[in-house]
Structure 1
């Protein structure tokens, strides 16, 4: 299979490195509070906690570990990623990808994959890739999971997907893209590399396919990681994918899978 770019497969090497600098920052805050009073102490406290929130809520943040958001290539090629399946849309998505000779990585939810194991096998049979997108997809609270719950969401998904696939997933996408400080340890344990994106159309909530494609087109560039979804409540993900693939053809872009290569965190 022709793969125009390589992606550094980088499971976190030091998943608890953040804890050291955070502890040091809080000792500094305590010292300032004791020496200069609450006004200075509070002024020092807020930035340290703001950094933790930013690291969690910003999908491309590398504060807690490495994350891929774009790939290096001179070719007009993108990495198309599809979240939240398998679903009622999967078969139609696969047919569209075949029609455009496009390849994609499906970031699947393990509970849904077990219910639709035939679709999971079909994804692989047609030459696409499967990534880990959590066990149960707790979209409202994934960002706030503690270490045990986070380990279960990632580890249980990896175990169940590995039992259904010829090879276990190597890529992970955080639910809603938000990875808190406790995400890195299970990624390291299971040899997973986190993937974000550089182009998205908000198709999980936007029902107008033209708006979805227009937003993605603004951020298109060689090596872009494109985020799409399937199975959304508005029911128009397949139509949005049809418009996107047609537009990519018009612009001379192709969708290909990256070749993983070893990398250092």
Structure 2
């Protein structure tokens, strides 16, 4: 199973959307608005779903979980670097665990030492946009989208010397203009299969309950750092404990010639593994 898949035909959606709209125009002309309007709404509903659903593959490939025969889970931490980063790195070390940090470019520029420390401790570094425009990422045009993705990529490469190979869309939203810069930069999009809404929910037990329900071999776990509720480190601690209790381990996939997953570190001959967290 090839995990690291960059978009191959980023403009393919045009060739699907244009004939669909022409067909609806013909339907409207031939049968009137009572036939044409519902068809138009249905088509735009599909396009909206493709934009807002994190696991939707309408505009390009997205990885939402590892193969079920994987012997661990992929721990991913979004929105850093932040004040929480040093504590998270110590916590991961204490558990013998590894993670991939999806970093925001302008935040990385403000704290380059933390970015280098993440890499030095053997964790993955990945692209999570340059400014994290949470409210409008889904609606960015082609130029703005390219600036967000390319800006972060250049910043992280300048700090670490290595170009990330994974990208996570802000809030998981990915409109038709995401795929072209991903293809040009060799980035593959990552979603998740286990989440607890920890970026906004500070109730540790409630968050852990939601994540634990989806913890299984091959799960991609979505976590955050620097959340306003101030309990991100506590939540990650609880997740690591749950992972250990289930007998799983953490994985940071590495690039291999056979297409095994990739993290933000230089190419590896085989997946790097954390301890029995």
| TM-score grouping bracket, smaller chain normalisation | over 0.9
Moved over 6 A (4+): none
**Length-normalised TM-score, structure 2:** 0.91
Query: What CA deviation, in whole Å up to 9, does each residue of 1:39-74 have, x standing for no partner?
Result: 111021111111100000000000000000011142
The answer to which of 6-15 and 129-138 deviates more is 6-15
- Residue 3 of structure 1: aligned partner: none
1:252 aligned onto 2:247? yes
Contact 1:161 1:168 in 2 (8 A): yes
Structure 1: 5+ residue stretches without partners: 1-5
Aligned to 2:11: 16
Within 2, Cα distance between the matches of 1:46 and 1:21? Answer: 16
Cα distance in 2, alignment partners of residues 75 and 238 from structure 1: 26
Q: Which of 81, 86, 103 is the equivalent residue of 2:81?
A: 86
Q: Given that residues 76 and 252 in structure 1 are in contact (C-alpha distance below 8 angstroms), is that contact kept between their aligned partners in structure 2?
A: no
Question: How high is the TM-score relative to the length of structure 1?
Answer: 0.95
Q: Distance in 1 between matches of 2:243 and 2:71?
A: 10
| 1:162 paired residue number | 157
CA contact (8 A) 1:57 1:178 kept: yes
Out of 224, 227, 234, which is 1:239 matched to? 234
C-alpha distance in 1, partners of 2:242/2:152?
34
Question: What is the Cα deviation at residue 210 of structure 1?
Answer: 1.2
SS at match of 1:84: strand
* CA apart distance, 1:208: 1.3
Query: Are the counterparts in 2 of residues 8 and 260 from structure 1 also a CA contact under 8 Å?
Result: no
The unaligned stretches of length 5 or more in structure 2 are 260-277
Shift in Å, 1:159: 1.1
CA deviation vs aligned residue, 1:6-56 (integer Å, no higher than 9, x gap): 862111000010111100000000000111111111021111111100000
Alignment partners' CA distance in 2, 1:123 and 1:168 = 14
> For 2:76, what is the secondary structure of its paired residue?
strand
Instruction: Identify which of 172, 189, 193 aligns with 2:184.
Output: 189
**Which one scores higher on RCO, CA 8 angstroms, separation ≥ 6?**
1
Shift of 1:185: 0.5
**1:176-201 deviations in Å (ceiling 9; x for gaps):** 00000100011001110000000001
Distance in 2, Cα, partners of 1:7 & 1:120: 28
1:66 equivalent among 47, 61, 65 = 61
Partner Cα separation in structure 2 for residue 260 and residue 24 of structure 1: 38
Deviations 1:141-200 (A, max 9, x none): 000101110011001111111111131100000000000010001100111000000000
Q: In the alignment, is residue 96 of structure 1 matched against residue 91 of structure 2?
A: yes
Counterparts of 1:168-247 in structure 2 under 5 Å?
168-247=163-242
Partner of 1:148: 143
> What is the distance in 1 between the residues matched to 2:247 and 2:178?
37
